Structure 1
């Protein structure tokens, strides 16, 4: 009897945490996301009306942003890498993927597991990674540029919880406030009720300057490195 109860509990858990389509039903632990730039660099986090709530535009505080290295916020697998509405093999990108409305130019999406994704847009040229590639935290993705619907060099960035939208489009409803090194970014509302997911009118979130702690692990004592 005890074994039957345990088996039922396991089955119930799997049903609750995994949908029939194979997607995670509830998010796993949020990864330890870091700023998408090399260790020690300071970047300004900004937004503007109509940008979509939680979307972040990054600008380098130490000089021009263009050409600076963009790195993975956390380890994962590349879910998408390419230009606008196509994957790197020329196939159509799934709905809600980076640039399907023609806006983000060269972009990358990383699947971090547990329903968590990060999105990077406006890269200067073709990404340095490919769909399906395993990524380590801090691994270069490309360089800041202004491809897509912008004329200003900057990085467009999002953190998404794929479990929020049953269609798993990685669209507006999946967007959440970005957290870096355990600290909320402070970039929430874009100040426009016309754009989601918050859909409130008012001033957009105030910009913030943050220093990256996306640093390589310290060598083990006695390793000689």
Structure 2
């Protein structure tokens, strides 16, 4: 074998060896650790300063979901405010009928959906959701909003027939696919104090999936002040 042939086969062997080593390293390297959430924003109650609201849940509501009802006066028509500053990732209409078809905007009592609602990205994996607004939101997808900015008014659109605000806080780093699904839901905290709404008392709904006891109602006064 000539010197050129020896050199060529030597180089091919080196290249093949490098490819094998690279394949082994890539297929056996440890998975990166899951991302950690950024600091929890200083979330406030999604209502004007000084208003007092009742926080409640019910079986099948999903753990950590909150329904808000005014303690005094009518619930419907009251202002819904951003709990913290952020970027609107969705503002619009979402509701389905019993057959799974999209419900017409403004429909009440549908099988599922927030009705008129808003989702805000607060950074660091933190999101809030607001549902069943009375009419189309006052903000649009992509808008930057400040804490306390009005998003809409309490109503009963979507999967309800009773005036109230459906509300969620989510840690999106819990889900590698970033779907803001059930597993991302966490106990809401307002003005640094946990809401007290955790279990809906049903093993069929997550993320806790435990049968009872259902979290008792709570009362909070808004510190969402200018």
**Which category describes the TM-score, using the shorter chain as reference length?**
0.7 to 0.9
- Alignment match, 1:107: 117
For 1:203 and 1:49, how far apart are their aligned partners in 2?
Answer: 10
For 2:183 and 2:210, how far apart are their aligned partners in 1?
Answer: 14
Higher relative helix content? 2
Residue 83 of structure 2 is aligned to residue 73 of structure 1: yes
Aligned residues of 2:95 and 2:159 also touching (Cα < 8 A): no
SS for the counterpart of 2:173 is helix
Residue 181 of structure 2 is aligned to residue 174 of structure 1: no
- Alignment match, 1:215: 225
| Superposed CA offset, 1:167-217 (max 9, x none) | 11111000000000000000000000000000000121000110000001x
Residue 56 of structure 2 is aligned to residue 46 of structure 1: yes
Structure 1: state its 5+ residue gaps: 1-14, 20-24, 87-100, 217-225
- Alignment match, 1:96: none
Q: Quick one: which of 184, 187, 205 aligns to 2:194?
A: 184
- Alignment match, 2:67: 57
**Could you tell me how far 1:42 is from its partner in structure 2?**
0.2
For 2:157 and 2:48, how far apart are their aligned partners in 1?
Answer: 21
For 2:211 and 2:112, how far apart are their aligned partners in 1?
Answer: 26
Aligned residues of 2:95 and 2:114 also touching (Cα < 8 A): no
For 1:85-100, list aligned pairs within 5 A. none
Q: Quick one: which of 193, 199, 208 aligns to 2:209?
A: 199
For 2:150 and 2:32, how far apart are their aligned partners in 1?
Answer: 36
Residue 42 of structure 2 is aligned to residue 32 of structure 1: yes
Residue 144 of structure 2 is aligned to residue 117 of structure 1: no
**Could you tell me how far 1:102 is from its partner in structure 2?**
3.8
TM superposition score normalised by structure 1: 0.78
| Superposed CA offset, 1:93-144 (max 9, x none) | xxxxxxxx84210000000000000000000000000000001000000000
Q: Quick one: which of 119, 123, 144 aligns to 1:134?
A: 144
TM superposition score normalised by structure 2: 0.78
Moved over 4 A (4+): none
Count of matched residue pairs: 183
For 2:75 and 2:175, how far apart are their aligned partners in 1?
Answer: 33
For 2:213 and 2:83, how far apart are their aligned partners in 1?
Answer: 28
Structure 2: state its 5+ residue gaps: 1-30, 97-110
For 2:113 and 2:213, how far apart are their aligned partners in 1?
Answer: 24
